Amino acid sequence: MIAQFALRLLCGMSLMWSIMPRDKVTVGFFRIQMLLALGLSVLVALTLNSAGGAESIWGQPAALGGCISLAATAFVGSVVWTLGRRRAGAGCVYTIAIVSILLLLSVRTSSANSLLTPIGLLGAASELSSGMMVGGTVTAMLLGHWYLTAPTMSIAPLSRLTGYLHVAIWIRLLLSGAALWLAWDQISAPEQWTWLSLRWLAGIFGLLAVIFLVGRILRYRNTQSATGVLFAGVILTFIGELSASLLERELSIPM
pLDDT digits (tens, 9 = 90+) for 162-172: 999 999 999 99
pLDDT at 32: 95
List, as one string, the DSSP characters of 112-140: S--TTSHHHHHHHHHHHHHHHHHHHHHHH
pLDDT digits (tens, 9 = 90+) for 230-239: 999 999 999 9
CA distance 10 to 221: 28
* Mean per-residue pLDDT, 63-70: 84
Statement: residue 110 has pLDDT above 60: no
Amino acid present at 92: C
Q: Which sign, positive or negative, has the C-alpha torsion 204, 198, 192, 105?
A: positive
pLDDT digits (tens, 9 = 90+) for 40-50: 999 988 887 65
pLDDT digits (tens, 9 = 90+) for 116-163: 677 778 888 888 999 999 999 999 999 999 998 888 888 999 999 999
Statement: residue 78 has pLDDT above 90: yes
Residues in the chain, total: 255
Task: Indicate the pLDDT class of residue 227, thresholds 50, 70 and 90.
Answer: very high
Relative orientation angle of helices 2-19 and 27-46, to the nearest 10 degrees: 160
pLDDT at 111: 52
CA distance 156 to 6: 28
CA distance 191 to 250: 10
CA distances from residue 5 to 41, 158, 227 in whole angstroms, order as listed: 12, 24, 23
Residue percentage of the chain with pLDDT more than 90: 52
Total-model pTM: 0.88
pLDDT at 60: 60
Amino acid present at 233: G
DSSP 116: T
pLDDT at 51: 38
Task: Indicate the pLDDT class of residue 195, thresholds 50, 70 and 90.
Answer: confident
Task: Name, in order, each residue with C-beta under 8 angstroms of 150's C-beta and a sequence gap of 6 or more.
Answer: 26, 28, 29
Amino acid present at 66: G
Average pLDDT of the chain is: 86
pLDDT at 88: 94
Statement: residue 37 has pLDDT above 90: yes
CA distances from residue 185 to 122, 188, 193, 243, 251 in whole angstroms, order as listed: 18, 8, 12, 18, 10
pLDDT at 133: 92
CA distance 86 to 24: 11
CA 50 to chain centre: 21
DSSP 184: G
